[in-house]
Each structure stands twice: as structure tokens, then as C-alpha cells.
Amino acid sequence: MPATVLVLVETINDYLPILEHQGFHLILAPTPAERAAAIARHGGQIDAVLTRGPLGLYAEEIDALPALKIICVIGAGYEHVDLQAAADRHITVTNGAGVNASSVADHAMALLLSLVRDIPRCDAAVRRGEWPKIMRPSLAGKRLGILGLGAVGMAIAKRANAGFDMSVCYHNRQHRSDLPYTFCSTPTELARASDFLIVATPGGLGTKHLINRQVLDALGPKGFIVNIARASVIVTADLVTALEQRRIAGAALDVFDNEPQVPDALKSLNNVILTPHVAGLSPEATQGTVELVGKNLVAFFSGQPVLTPIELPLPAAIQQVH
């Protein structure tokens, strides 16, 4: 009997035949109402769930899925998947780390270029029949700071260094002695050493509010920040205040605290560029991500190790013993 997969992701329909051709039965539930209805109606038959970090899978939903054996997360982030609840049920969790790195890095550089060169404002002015001569900084020779040097951070560093002649420094959980980039021991030190700062670290409790007023002040009034990671890494109120007071020069954001709601304070600022969490979306990345999900599912249901497992906490029962 084929395994049944509950698909909560709304952007991959064109690539779902990849999973169907592998023999999986899919239940599509991309809206909150459809999700609740599918879990209520088919909860006893669902073997796997396909989700994204911001969509997650919560403890009460896991409890309502007694047949659930594996959760596959599209993309690297899994911040709203209840890992403890999964561990308590011995449910395997996988992610798509690295598959969409090129797409996210491209978007990060596109945002940086648009922000530093003020492309949206220039475009709007020309459409109004104006012809302003706006003087903006060049990227060549500037210092780029990258918070998080995983697959995405590495792809950004390569583009910036080799393509735009920028020097690269970074802050990471671990110093990478195998790379030619400069390590900074704290986010504040990184911001102080940067003209431009790109946030490329995972979300979650370990990175929550790493970027606060102190870091933004270290970046300074000529500094620009780009976030293609998770909104939780930045204290949004501190960012808004810094932008309003011109304590930093500008920000470009692809991620927000309560998507799809975006604070009006951000929308009203002319030194901000906003995109709707699309950095990881490209045909190439989406196809690769769904193919990886398929490989993980096939491996799991064949009794083989999955390709990209997420490390889970100890089950609560074991924690209590210790």
C-alpha cells in the first residue's frame, strides 16, 4: 500500500508528479482551513508530512496523526516544526539544506544591488517622467559581512568576492580555517567591520535577535542590511527605529515576523526594499527540493537511512530519567 503524504506547501504543485510517479499518495492542503480539515478527515492514514519552516507542524497536529512516521521540510529552516513532539514519537525529520542555496544567494545579491544603487526609487522616478541624478555607492571594494556561513552564506560570499570584488568577513558558530574570509567573533564585531551586512543564518532559538540596536549602531549610518534568512534573527522594532532615524542607510527584507503581514512602519519607509519571502523560489530550486524529498521518502520507506536528517532532542521520557 503506498504511503500517504500530506502536502502543506503551496508553491510546488508543478513538481508534485515527481512524488506521484514514485508511488506516493498525496493529500494537498495548502491553506490553514484545508490543513485542519485534512488532518481531521485523514489523520489516521497520513504517513508523512511535507511542510516548510514557516508553516511548520505543531505538537497538537502531530498528536492528531497517529500513523505519522516522517516529516520532510522544504528548505533549510524548520523553526515551526515541533522537534520535541517528533522525538517523543520517534518520527524522523528531514530538511532540504543547500538545495536552494543558489537561488537564495542570487536574491540576496539582487536585493543588495537594488538597495545600494536605489533601483526601485530610480525606476519609480522615470515612470513619473522625472530624471533624477541620484548618486549612490559602488559595490566594488566594499566590505561585506555575512551572518551565517552555511551553504547560502558560502554562495553569497563567492558571488560578492569573485563577482563584485568585495572583501568578505563573517560570523558563524564555528571559525572556518579552510576559507580565505575574515572571521569575526560576534555579530557586533561583524557589523563594525562591514559596509553591507547580509543575514544568512538559520532561524530558531539559537539565532533569535542576534541583530539588535547595538549591532545596527555598529553597522552605522552608511551601512546597509539584507535579510534573506528569518525575521526572528533581527529585532524588528530596533530595525524600524534605526531606519526611521537614519542610524543605518537602508534595509532589504525577504522575511517578516508574521508573514504575510508586513508592518506598516516598514512599508512607509523609502530606504527599505520588501519582497514576499521568495528568495528560495526558482524552478531549479523547487525541482531540486522536491526531488530531495522524494529521495528521503523512498529511502525511509525502504528501510534505508534518509539523506538529510535533522538532529532531534532526546525523547522527554529519556530526559526525565537523566
Active site residues: 230, 259, 277
Rg (CA), the chain: 21
- Crossing angle, helix 119-127 and helix 101-116, to 10 degrees? 60
Q: From CA 114, how far away is CA 134, in angstroms rounded?
A: 13
209 contacts: CB under 8 Å, gap ≥ 6: 232, 233, 234, 235
- Helix (H, G, I), strand (E, B), or coil: what is residue 154? helix
Cα–Cα–Cα angle for 2, 8, 9, rounded to 5 degrees:
110
Q: From CA 288, how far away is CA 163, in angstroms rounded?
A: 25
Cell of 4: 500517504
Is the CB of residue 82 less than 8 Å from the CB of residue 56? Answer: yes
Q: From CA 197, how far away is CA 227, in angstroms rounded?
A: 9
Is the CB of residue 171 less than 8 Å from the CB of residue 190? Answer: yes
Give the other-Cβ count within 10 Å of 238's Cβ. 18
Cell of 112: 543588495
DSSP alpha helices (H): ranges in 51-150? 59-63, 83-88, 101-116, 119-127
SS (H, E, C) 219-244: HCCCCEEEECCCHHHECHHHHHHHHH
Strands 250-253 and 224-227: parallel
